[in-house]
Amino acid sequence: MIQITPVGVLAERPFESREFYRHVLKIERVQTIGQLDGHAVLRLDSPRIEIDSTLVATFDRGVQQFSQHNQRLRLICKTLENTISELNRHGVSITSSDDGKYEFVDMNGLNWHLSDLNGRKLSIEGLQPPA
């Protein structure tokens, strides 16, 4: 069984967003399913999308309690090199870290983390993170 978690996206520019998700990220199913507060609601369905969520919290003190919740989408690329090349071709700024992780923020403000199919390696041979 292949698990697919649908992802909802609010898009100010629905046509450009659909084109980006379909043709650049190669997401198998992209639909406009409605409107919300003047934005189109898109639904992304793909077995290659995973949701990463991290919660850091300190509640054991009476003062200055802290909670930070980060979410990002992981795209498991068919070919990491091709995805990065396509993103670069469309002017998307990709950041890379010292440990070889590649990330970008799309036109709708979603944070994406790039992985590949082969063991989900997070680095590309021959591409080095910036010095």
Rounded Cα–Cα distance for residues 83 and 99 (Å): 19
pLDDT digits (tens, 9 = 90+) for 86-95: 999 999 999 9
Residue 122 has pLDDT above 50, yes or no: no
Beta strands, E only, the chain: 7-11, 29-36, 39-45, 49-58, 66-77, 94-96, 102-105, 111-116
pTM of this prediction? 0.76
According to CATH, what is the number of the domain 7-56+65-116? 3.10.180
pLDDT digits (tens, 9 = 90+) for 3-61: 787 889 999 999 999 999 999 999 999 999 999 999 999 999 999 898 887 878 887 77
Q: Give residue limits of the domains in the chain.
A: 7-56+65-116
Q: CB-based contacts of 15: which residues, under 8 Å, 6+ apart?
A: none
